[in-house]
Amino acid sequence: MPTVMLSVKVRNNFHFKQVDRFLNSILEGLKVKTEICGVTSRGLIQIAVSGEDEKVALHYLANELGICPVSLENVEKFVVIKGYIIDLDKSKDKLHIDIGVSSPKIINATISLQHLQAQLIDGRKVALKKIAQLFGFCENLPLTIKISNMDEENDYIDAMLSEKQLAQYRNWTKSLLDRLIIAGTSAYDLRLALKRTGLNRDIVKIESLGLFEQAVVCQLGTDAVGLIPKIGRSLPNATFSVFNPKRVLEFLNYATAFTF
């Protein structure tokens, strides 16, 4: 019975129930059982998988949700992997990404400020805090990264944003629509919050960035920042940030807007 750590962060007991329902739904039809075993200190969920179709189930879970490497020796160079921004305000020269490495100790992947500058803002020498504001970085936001180097002796993992992640930012910028990014809520709970607050008319759709991370795509002319106080009352434990394409375009002087 293999036990794996899913690249899914939970914040409360209700999230556990939602994960359990989601697993039963996506694995329906397979001869397999899943059991939630626990959660790490950082909120990543561990499950046991058993049954005749466990290999198929594990492959599917890896594609749909992501499976953490757990040990540094399982991290491979050039592999694309999902991780979560962590300790956003504790460093000025690198972005820390939790990819679930906890053995023999917790080790984050890190994206250097230089890589972020080169990939996102045409190499301009801008502070990490400014880049985070431009691209809506927030605590526990999932990002898809590519491992560029690692060293087991010195316990470090270097990474960069993956092409998939860069393509997402390009598409968001080209859309010219604000996105309200919310970490810590399911799409179902977010829809209930939007219904309660009467904000459905202000949005185009909800994009799921992860099981408990969503991006609300706003109608043209709707300011995502203005939605935070209203939605925030219904989702008090969530974390909010904003991606504003016009602000990105203005910063990049339009001409280089789609080159990152």
Q: How far is CA 188 from CA 10, 64, 185, 196, in A?
A: 15, 18, 8, 13
Domain residues of the chain, as ranges?
A: 3-64, 72-162, 179-243
Q: CB-based contacts of 2: which residues, under 8 Å, 6+ apart?
A: 48, 49, 50, 54, 58
In the prediction, which pLDDT does 30 show?
A: 95
Classify domain 72-162 by CATH number.
2.40.50.140
pTM: 0.93
Helical pair 113-120 and 163-175, crossing angle rounded to 10 deg: 50
Per-residue pLDDT tens digits for 59-115: 999 999 999 999 999 999 999 999 999 999 999 999 999 999 998 899 999 999 999
Closest CA to 149 of 163, 139, 159, 140: 159
Cα–Cα distance, 145 to 160 (Å, whole number): 6
Query: What are the tens digits of pLDDT across the range 148-167?
Result: 999 888 889 999 999 999 99
101-105, 186-190, 223-227: range with lowest mean pLDDT: 101-105
**Spatial separation of the C-alpha atoms in residues 38 and 36, rounded to whole Å:** 6
The pLDDT > 90 percentage for the chain reads: 89
Give the model's pLDDT for residue 254.
63
CATH of domain 179-243: 3.30.70
pLDDT of 118 reads 97
